Structure 1
Amino acid sequence: MQIILTRGLHAELLALAAREAPREACGLLLGEAQEGGIARVAAILPAANVHTDPQRFFEIDPVVLIAATRAARNGGPQVLGCYHSHPSGVAAPSATDSAMAAHDGKLWAIVAADTITWWRDGADGFEALSSPDQQG
């Protein structure tokens, strides 16, 4: 899978994670899945982390998720996946991430320090993806 996003969105993910620390930042990746396995991330939709222990775990505000899903059904950008940060960890899926994942093929961006890694949440678990092609 090839991921495309702008340098500005890359910088925005890093800034959102830094601003929320020591809490885990989280939100949605919006855009368009194109033929040939290309995912074009067009926007980032931050969401409140509503988990009861937001310094160690994340849970995207369901109101934001439902609204984005409804908007996609009505012709808006697709929900390509989610992002979250690991303020005191590494930019890789944790055991909790693996246990809580839906295995639905969606993208996951994980931010730690100044690093963003990209993953596909497949039926057999997380698959590491190449860094996105950054444009503009």
Structure 2
Amino acid sequence: MARQRVTLSLQAYQEILTDIYTRPQIEACGLLLGRIEQEKHWHVCGAKALRNIFQSPVYFEFAPEELLEAELTYPEQIIGVYHSHPTGYRKASQTDRTNMQRVNVEQQIPWIWLIVCGPFEQSPTTQHPILAYYHDAHAGLQHLSLTLEHHL
């Protein structure tokens, strides 16, 4: 199996942090836009924030109408999901794992999952751990290597 990895553009990173810092007390969430450059190498070029309809610090769910609009606006460009853990929890929750398996394995959608760990009371320039996951049908939940591009 090829080495699974994620490349996150500086622009996408900044868009994700901007979203998270506008709603630091809840799980901010959105879509990752880009391309799969080769098998199991996701290149994230941008991010599209979506509303968390639960406004919860420990759970997120997209507004369905916003997800549909994004799918129509960005055909073939959605390659994953991001959300924050404002409590600072530094791994995928059981809910996260269940959703990853449902989407990646049961629905056969090859999305990656980024989790940005808080807390977010500092400035947006603070370094935050970013976890990257993919649930493989054969190997199970995989923690992916993530590289941040330092140019636009």
Q: How much does 1:133 deviate?
A: 4.2
CA distance in 2, matches of 1:131, 1:5: 7
Kept in 2: contact 1:69–1:79 (CA 8 A) = yes
1:61 aligns with 2:57: no
CA distance in 2, matches of 1:50, 1:33: 29
CA distance in 2, matches of 1:86, 1:27: 13
The amino acid that maps onto 1:80 is I
Which aligned pairs between 1:71-110 and structure 2 lie closer than 5 A? 71-72=73-74, 76-101=75-100, 102-104=102-104, 105-110=110-115
Which aligned pairs between 1:1-136 and structure 2 lie closer than 5 A? 1-51=4-54, 54-72=56-74, 76-101=75-100, 102-104=102-104, 105-113=110-118, 114-123=128-137, 125-136=140-151
Kept in 1: contact 2:80–2:111 (CA 8 A) = yes
Structure number with higher strand proportion: 1
Q: Which moved more, 1:111-120 or 1:123-132?
A: 123-132
5+ long unaligned stretches in structure 2: 105-109, 119-127
- Over the aligned positions, Cα root-mean-square deviation in angstroms equals 2.0
The amino acid that maps onto 2:63 is D
CA distance in 2, matches of 1:40, 1:100: 21
Per-residue deviation, residues 42-89 of structure 1 (Å, max 9, x unmatched): 2100000012x52220001212221222334xxx45210100001003
CA spacing shift, 1:21–1:65, aligned 2, 3 Å: same
Kept in 1: contact 2:8–2:146 (CA 8 A) = no
Q: Which runs of 4+ in 1 moved over 3 A?
A: none
CA distance in 1, matches of 2:71, 2:23: 24
Q: How much does 1:97 deviate?
A: 1.1
TM-score when normalising by structure 1: 0.83
5+ long unaligned stretches in structure 1: none
CA distance in 2, matches of 1:121, 1:47: 22
Kept in 2: contact 1:93–1:126 (CA 8 A) = no
TM-score when normalising by structure 2: 0.75
Q: Which moved more, 1:87-96 or 1:3-12?
A: 3-12
The amino acid that maps onto 2:97 is S
Indicate the percent of aligned positions where both proteins have the same amino acid: 28
